[in-house]
Structure formats: structure tokens, C-alpha cells
């Protein structure tokens, strides 16, 4: 995707160095918009190999409102391994804290919990939250079917009252759905953007969510738009970024979802990636 590579190039040519909580400095720019028309293919990066199974299983995790990282690990998804509920193990980037955080399975009231149980009191990953809090995602789905011209179809993961019990404050903190000329568009907001590791994942995840919402409501797939805040590349990702910029993008793949009944019954294995070709993966260390 040229739009992604333009963002990456802009950071490397115009970015400024700054410190952050991880101890690994970044080169950063402020305020960027990403835009992709879904008619051009599924927005999965081709300039490096992407883990679509991990993207899809995390989205199912969010849609279900789950908070147990063991659920992800059982599906060979380890993207949340390093974090946990800070009320059970306080955050720290020293080695002892990292080990304890990795061993704790409870992630706290992160993304999907807020999507499905906004502001409900949180106890543990194995508690029953049925009927508790506001089901923001269900409200959006119902509105899509009853009043698709509504401009209030918004889901927020940013809950100031509950941030202290989240493994991480949400980076992509909210999204809005709009329908214009029978096309469903999804616009997400992101405060902190790890451009090499996080952003390619976020683009594909929200692209998949757009696809599922379109199937749920019967609309065509429209535009995917990201409003990005602190957009950065970590110092230890610079060589990988230059390597990626040297590669020529390939044709985008497509996805196909079978046996679809409802977004709330959807499983990540129901969606298949088609005709995906990419350059080799680029090894990048994550900043905890």
C-alpha cells in the first residue's frame, strides 16, 4: 500500500527525535491521515509478510469482549503476551516485572471489554459480564440495520475511569461507521502509532471489521480511514523501515468469509485470505 509507505517515508524524512516510557527513543511526526478504498483489495501489507491469522483472532477476541490472553495463546497468537492487568501486576520495563507480567493471564478491561461492556465494573477475565455495561458494538449493528444514515455510530475504547485496570491504555481508541451511497465506511482514531509493528496490524484489523460490518448490514465496502496522532518509528526499527521502503508493493490480496450468520457468531477461521503474496518478514523487537 502506497499510503502506508508514504507515512513511513514522511517519518524518516521529517520526523523529530523524542523520548517515551519504554526507554527506546522514537522518531515521530504529529497528525497523519491514512486512507484506503476497499474496492482496491484487502489492506494487508505486501512489503513484509503479515500474520493474518493473528490479526483475525485478535479481532474475534475483541468482538467477544474477552480479556484472557490464554484464549489468544491457545490459538497461537502471542501479541498480548508481554502485558497484563496492572492491578494484578504493576507495569514495569525491568526484567523482573516483564516476567511477572508475562505470567499473568488477565489483561483487564481492554478494548473488547469496553466495546461490549462499556464502564461495567471489572473483576477478572473469568467473571460473568452478561448484560453489564453498555454494548456499544451491538448498538452500532442495530443502528446500521434500522437507521444507516445515523452519524452517531461510534464505539469508544477510551474510558478514563477504567484506564488504571487496562493492560495498556488503548492506542486505537475509537471508531465510527458511516454509510454513504450504499457503501459502509469505517474511520478509526489512534493516539499512539507504532508505524512498523502496530500500524500494519491496525490497518488490516479495521479493514476486516469493516468487511464484517458490511456483511452484517448488506452494504458494500467503502473507505477505511485512520486519523493518527503521535506517529513514530522506534530507534531499533529504523533499519527495518529503510528495508521496507526499498521494496516494491505487490498486488493486494482479497478475503472471503463463509458461513456468515452474524458478526457476533463469527470465528476467525471463517474468513480466508486469498491470493496473498508478499516480501519476506522483517524481524522487529517490540518495545514494552
- Residue spans of the domains in the chain: they are 2-274
Q: What is the pLDDT of residue 183?
A: 98
Q: In angstroms, how far apart are the furthest CA atoms of the chain? A: 54
Q: How is residue 118 written as a grid cell? A: 462499556
* Bridge partners, residue 116, by sequence: none
Among 171, 177, 184, 203, the active-site one is 171
Tally the C-alpha atoms within 13 A of residue 109's C-alpha that lie toward its C-beta.
25
Highest CATH level, class, for 2-274: alpha beta
C-alpha dihedral, 74 to 170 to 30 to 44, nearest 10°: 30
The residues, ordered by sequence, that sit 6+ positions from 36 with a Cβ below 8 Å of its Cβ are 1, 3, 43, 203, 207, 223, 224, 225
pTM of the shown model: 0.96
Q: What is the pLDDT of residue 93?
A: 80
Is 84 among the residues known to form the active site?
no
Report the alpha-carbon distance of residue 54 to residue 197 in Å, rounded: 13
Regions of the chain short of the pLDDT cut 70 = 288
Q: What is the pLDDT of residue 258?
A: 86
Amino acid at each position: 500500500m502506497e499510503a502506508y509507505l508514504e507515512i513511513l517515508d514522511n517519518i524518516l524524512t521529517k520526523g523529530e527525535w523524542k523520548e517515551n516510557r519504554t526507554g527506546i527513543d522514537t522518531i515521530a511526526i504529529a497528525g497523519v491521515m491514512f486512507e484506503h478504498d476497499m474496492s482496491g483489495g484487502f489492506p494487508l501489507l505486501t512489503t513484509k509478510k503479515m500474520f493474518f491469522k493473528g490479526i483475525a483472532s485478535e479481532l474475534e477476541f475483541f468482538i467477544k469482549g474477552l480479556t484472557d490472553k490464554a484464549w489468544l495463546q491457545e490459538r497461537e497468537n502471542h501479541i498480548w503476551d508481554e502485558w497484563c492487568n496492572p492491578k494484578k501486576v504493576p507495569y514495569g520495563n525491568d526484567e523482573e516485572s516483564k516476567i511477572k507480567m508475562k505470567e499473568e493471564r488477565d489483561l483487564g478491561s481492554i478494548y473488547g471489554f469496553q466495546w461490549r461492556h462499556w464502564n461495567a465494573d471489572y473483576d477478572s477475565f473469568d467473571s460473568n459480564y452478561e448484560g453489564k455495561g453498555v454494548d456499544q458494538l451491538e448498538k452500532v449493528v442495530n443502528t446500521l440495520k434500522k437507521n444507516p444514515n445515523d452519524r452517531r455510530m461510534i464505539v469508544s475504547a477510551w474510558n478514563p475511569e477504567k484506564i488504571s485496570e487496562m493492560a495498556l491504555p488503548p492506542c486505537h481508541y475509537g471508531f465510527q461507521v458511516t454509510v454513504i451511497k450504499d457503501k459502509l465506511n469505517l474511520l478509526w482514531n489512534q493516539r499512539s502509532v507504532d508505524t512498523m509493528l502496530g500500524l500494519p496490524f491496525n490497518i488490516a484489523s479495521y479493514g476486516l471489521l469493516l468487511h464484517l460490518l458490511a456483511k452484517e448490514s448488506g452494504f458494500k465496502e467503502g473507505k477505511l480511514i485512520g486519523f493518527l496522532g503521535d506517529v513514530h518509528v522506534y530507534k531499533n526499527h529504523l533499519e527495518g523501515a529503510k528495508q521496507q521502503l526499498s521494496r516494491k508493493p505487490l498486488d493486494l490480496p482479497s478475503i472471503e468469509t463463509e458461513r456468515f450468520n452474524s458478526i457476533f457468531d463469527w470465528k476467525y477461521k471463517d474468513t480466508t485470505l486469498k491470493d496473498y503474496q508478499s516480501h519476506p518478514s522483517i524481524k522487529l523487537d517490540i518495545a514494552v
